[in-house]
Amino acid sequence: MNKQAALAFRCMDLTSLGNQDTPEDIEALCAKARYDANHVAAICVFPEHVTTAKRALREHQLTDVAVATVTNFPQGGTDVERAVEETQRAIAAGADEIDVVLPYHALLAGDKVICERLVRQVKDACGNDILLKVIIESGELQTSAQIRLASQLSIANGADFIKTSTGKVPVNATLEAAEDMLSVIAQDNPSCGFKAAGGIRTLADACAYFDLAERLLGADYLSPNCFRLGASSLLKDLIESR
């Protein structure tokens, strides 16, 4: 694994969000979380698999790997109370990170207030110890202005990261959307993280996002504390990189 591949591996949220996932699938996923001296940043699974992932990572002596899960997923509904309750249950089960879907349909309809409320209240449920990533579903937003607005609202209301996509829509991460999002981070809060998710399959794909982030936010931004890749199919290409 070359230097760039090792960086991509360390920044990866190794993900399995299949409706048919079994505990055995999650255990197998966790077994892939280390390669040589490197480990991924997080394992991302559905809430019902959080306890399995925590246990499997302990068994592999990978307690430095976070367990992330998703709430208000994938539809991005407007029921704030439900999103908060899902988040609280996930944290109680042991989740270290929450990837919540912004109510992007509401945003497209002109309702910014519900987006602000949901992010703020979910962040309140997370507190200071649980990392909150807000999925803006950039591929469903219709313009650069909407992507920038979703990013601004998320950051202003407590997002620790902003994330492109659920991976459940036709258009997921794109470099164009990433540039809008990273530009907002650079302007509004350079300590906010960024996660590109969906459709990142090769080291070349990952490096294109690295190059963009470095141009806008500097080389120090390229670490798991600030930059994540939500991927599963990327893993094979990284391991084969020399």
Residue 43 has phi, psi (to 5 degrees) of: -105, 130
124: number of Cβ within 10 Å: 13
pLDDT reported for residue 100: 98
Going by pLDDT thresholds of 50, 70 and 90, the confidence category of residue 121 is very high
CB of 48 within 8 A of CB of 35? no
E-strand spans in the chain?
12-16, 34-35, 38-39, 42-45, 66-71, 97-101, 131-135, 161-163, 193-197, 227-231
Confidence (pTM): 0.97
* Residue 123 is a catalytic residue: no
- CA 79 to CA 207: how far, in whole Å? 37
Q: Phi/psi of residue 38, each to 5°?
A: -110, 150
Span 166-224, pLDDT tens digits: 999 999 999 999 999 999 999 999 999 999 999 999 999 999 999 999 999 999 999 99
Of the listed 54, 195, 205, 237, which one is catalytic? Answer: 195
Q: Which of 13, 54, 96, 99 is catalytic?
A: 99
pLDDT band at 232 (very low <50, low <70, confident <90, very high): confident
Q: Identity (one letter) of the amino acid at 214?
A: E
Tell whether the model's pLDDT for residue 18 goes beyond 80. Answer: yes
* Residue 99 annotated in active site: yes
Are residues 40 and 86 in contact, defined by beta-carbon separation less than 8 angstroms? no
Active site residue 32: no
Residues paired with residue 196 on neighbouring β-strands, in sequence order: 229
**Which one of the listed residues 133, 163, 180, 205 is annotated catalytic?**
163
Nearest to 154 by CA among 188, 186, 200: 188
When the pLDDT of each residue in the chain is averaged and rounded to a whole number, the result is: 97
Closest residue by Cα to residue 169 from 64, 76, 31, 39? 76
Other residues' Cβ atoms within 10 Å of the Cβ of residue 40: 29
Model pLDDT for residues 127-177, shown as the tens digit of each residue: 999 999 999 999 999 899 999 999 999 999 999 999 999 999 999 999 999
Structural domains in the chain, sorted by start: 3-240 (3.20.20.70)
The pLDDT tens digits for 51-92 are 999 999 999 999 999 999 999 999 999 999 999 999 999 999
